[in-house]
Amino acid sequence: MNMENPFNNTEIAFSLKSNRELRKAHFLFKMMGYPSLINFGSAVMMKSLQWRLPVKGLIKHTVFEHFCGGTTEEECKSVVDNMYLKGVSSILDYSVEGKEDEADFNAVVDKKLKLIKHAAHSDALPFEVVKPTGIGRFYIWQKVTEKKELTAAEQAEWQRIKDRVLLLSQTAYDNDIALLFDGEESWMQDAADELIRDMMLQFNKEKAIIYNTLQCYRHDRLDYIKELYNDAIENNFIVGVKIVRGAYMEKERARAEEMNYESPICANKMATDEMFNSAMYFILDHLDVIKLCIGTHNESSTLQAMEILTKKGIAANNKDVWFGQLYGMSDNLTFNLAQMNYNTFKILPFGPIRDVMPYLIRRAQENTSVAGQTGRELILIRQEMKRRGL
């Protein structure tokens, strides 16, 4: 193994992949090297599903199988069990997006409640995850963030959202399962931040049950985590935080330009990396109050976190710190970290193929747009194929 970079060990990284799966991963990431092809293919797949053309089998055995655990939580079981044998935990993420009515929101809550209770019976499932706009209309989150007056009907709708958040948080607490709230667009996020903070105050007295997500491409996030830390000290609660770089950069910048306000996004990739690392350093300096999930595919940030933990004499398996990656990406990070005894998880999406397509398209496009991601995956896959003599 390369002693300078422990993440080059492809035998460990791809230990769960058969030769067939490795060849398929090679094909997929090769295709992701062509953004125009990905965009065209994504549009064709969506249209084919809308027109009910017989493409589900093709989708299931290519991109779906690579990035998702299955169509149901039962189908995910073998993936969860196999990863856990390698020391990697899972977060089952019912990845149905873009719903807009109350029946759909209630259905998502019912599914999340079931997943929390399911996780309570498995050591392999320490967390559950919820997307705020999956349980309430974006428009309402936005209007509350903008501090605009709500109509009577909107007030009732906002109360239903708050009730759902409380029910999910209470259920997570009762079942001793940590609940991660996803971060979303800045113009709805303040309402989510405030509500999630209230859940931390209520349920994070002894340990971190409720976690919020910090999108570190926002230039105000270090200030935010410092304020949350002071709030926690003053009001005697524990903070749970997942840090990520962020997922809505182009949309954020375009809206800021169109509506003529200062962009909330860091000026460039270097500034984003600095913000991510600064937030990470601050939290690792305050693990007595803040518990951390490091959600990253960035090797440099991961190595820096490991170095800090070593310097501070904090054991790799200390439950105050977790490392997480998306299923189907950066196996060299996840599985090598687990081999070194760090707490690791994969976010494992699942759901009906038609409903999960927007998620899959975003994953494919993300790989084409993140500088070096596809190239790095391909190099490692080819390295392992060569090692196996494929």
Residue 20, pLDDT score: 94
User: Which residues have a Cβ under 8 Å from the Cβ of 218 and sit 6 or more positions away?
Assistant: 186, 246, 264, 265, 266, 275
332-379, pLDDT tens digit by residue? 999 999 999 999 999 999 998 888 877 777 666 655 555 566 788 899
Structure tokens at 32: 């992701």
Structure tokens at 271: 């500034």
Whether the pLDDT of residue 76 is over 60: the answer is yes
Residue 100, pLDDT score: 80
Helix (H) or strand (E) holding 144: helix 138-145
The residue-averaged pLDDT of 313-319 equals 95
Residue 31, pLDDT score: 79
Burial 369-386 (b: 16+ CB within 10 A, else e): eeeebbebbbebbbbbbe
Is the pTM of the predicted complex or chain greater than 0.95? no
What is the C-alpha to C-alpha distance for residues 25 and 275, in angstroms, rounded to an integer? 32
Residue 40, pLDDT score: 59
233-291, pLDDT tens digit by residue? 999 999 999 999 988 888 899 999 999 999 999 999 899 999 999 999 999 999 999 99
Residue 1, pLDDT score: 39
The residue-averaged pLDDT of 99-119 equals 93
Grade residue 30 by pLDDT with cuts at 50, 70 and 90. Answer: confident
- DSSP state string for 109-143: HHHHHHHHHHHTT-TT--EEEE-GGGSS-HHHHHH
- DSSP state string for 349-374: EES-HHHHHHHHHHHHHHHHHSTTHH
Q: What percent of the chain has pLDDT over 90?
A: 78
Residue 55, pLDDT score: 66
Residue 2, pLDDT score: 42
| More confident of the two residues 321 and 41 | 321
- Is residue 208 helix, strand or coil? coil
Residue 89, pLDDT score: 98
Residue 3, pLDDT score: 47
Mean pLDDT (the chain) is 91
Closest to 360 measured CA to CA, from 95, 149, 40: 95
Helix (H) or strand (E) holding 387: helix 373-388
Grade residue 59 by pLDDT with cuts at 50, 70 and 90. Answer: confident
What is the C-alpha to C-alpha distance for residues 213 and 293, in angstroms, rounded to an integer? 9
Cβ proximity of 88 and 79 under 8 Å: no
The residue-averaged pLDDT of 131-155 equals 96
| More confident of the two residues 177 and 56 | 177
- DSSP state string for 271-321: HHHHHHHHHHHHHHTTTTTEEEEEE---HHHHHHHHHHHHHTT--TT-TTE
The residue-averaged pLDDT of 138-161 equals 97
Structure tokens at 245: 């770089």
164-203, pLDDT tens digit by residue? 999 999 999 999 999 999 999 999 999 999 999 999 999 9
Residue 374, pLDDT score: 72
Q: What percent of the chain has pLDDT over 70?
A: 89
The residue-averaged pLDDT of 308-319 equals 95
Taking residue 34's Cβ as centre, other Cβ atoms within 10 Å add up to 13
Cβ proximity of 36 and 29 under 8 Å: no
Q: What is the DSSP letter of 347?
A: E
What is the C-alpha to C-alpha distance for residues 201 and 128, in angstroms, rounded to an integer? 19
Residue 97, pLDDT score: 63
